[in-house]
Copies of this chain bind each other. A is one copy, B any other.
Amino acid sequence: MQTTRGQRLTRAERRRQLVELGLEMLSSEPRELVALDRISEVAGISRGLLFHYFPTKRDYHVAVVEAACARLLERTEPDPGLSPTEQLRAGLDAFVEFVRENEELYRALIRGAAGADAELEALFERTRGVIARRVFERLDAAETEPVARNVVRGWIGYVEESTLDWLRHADFDRRALVELQSTALESMLAASGTIIDR
């Protein structure tokens, strides 16, 4: 991203730019939040002005995580032109690619945030909620059925963990990973049907 020293931006543009910068720096820098000093330096604004846009470090943090969640949802948006099975695979493939490209960001913020902060946890919960709803729309099934809801929520946890394990080891084919993830949903839902009917 180009620096914009001296450039005049509207408030909304400036906020967007600062969030964008945070996303970029956090994608490549491990673990800790990028120092606000560096953000303001790269953005070409004073630290005081940064606080004008984001009154606390936490406000800034929440805005960056929000942008990361929005980007994840956008990248994994289903293509209605595909069949339900193809939509699922395309979505999983895009998810794996997003986490691969943004591994540090994903680990440090999106996952690590949960538990540490109620607002960030709610944000992440909403994101998982959108993913679950997409699965239910694809299945043409009711999200309100408790066992099915539980299976889909659990399956999202499986997809997240298996993707992080796959990135850590990188020892088998990515298509096999996506195949495992989509097959797992089908067999888990099939098994849950038998359990409900029992």
Contact = CB atoms under 8 A, between A and B. Distances in A.
Interface in A165-185: 165-166, 169, 171-172, 176-177, 179-181, 183-184
A34 interface: no
Interface stretch (A35-43, A89-97, A186-194): A186-194
Interface residues of A, number: 45
Interface string A109-142: 1011111101000000000000000000000000
A147 B161 contact: no
A151 interface: yes
Interface in A43-73: none
A154 B165 contact: yes
Given A112-B114, A184-B191, A195-B180, A153 B161 contact: yes
A160 interface: yes
Contacts of A114: 111-112
A51 to B, nearest CB: 24
A149 B161 contact: no
A161 B165 contact: no
Contacts of A180: 147, 150-151, 154, 188, 191-192, 195
A119 to B, nearest CB: 11
Interface string A64-91: 0000000000000000000000000000
A107 interface: yes
B176 A195 contact: yes
Top 4 nearest A-B pairs (CB, nearest first) are A112-B115, A157-B161, A154-B162, A158-B158
Given A147-B180, A154-B159, A179-B195, 11 more contacts: A112-B115, A146-B171, A149-B165, A149-B169, A150-B166, A151-B162, A157-B158, A176-B195, A180-B195, A187-B188, A188-B188
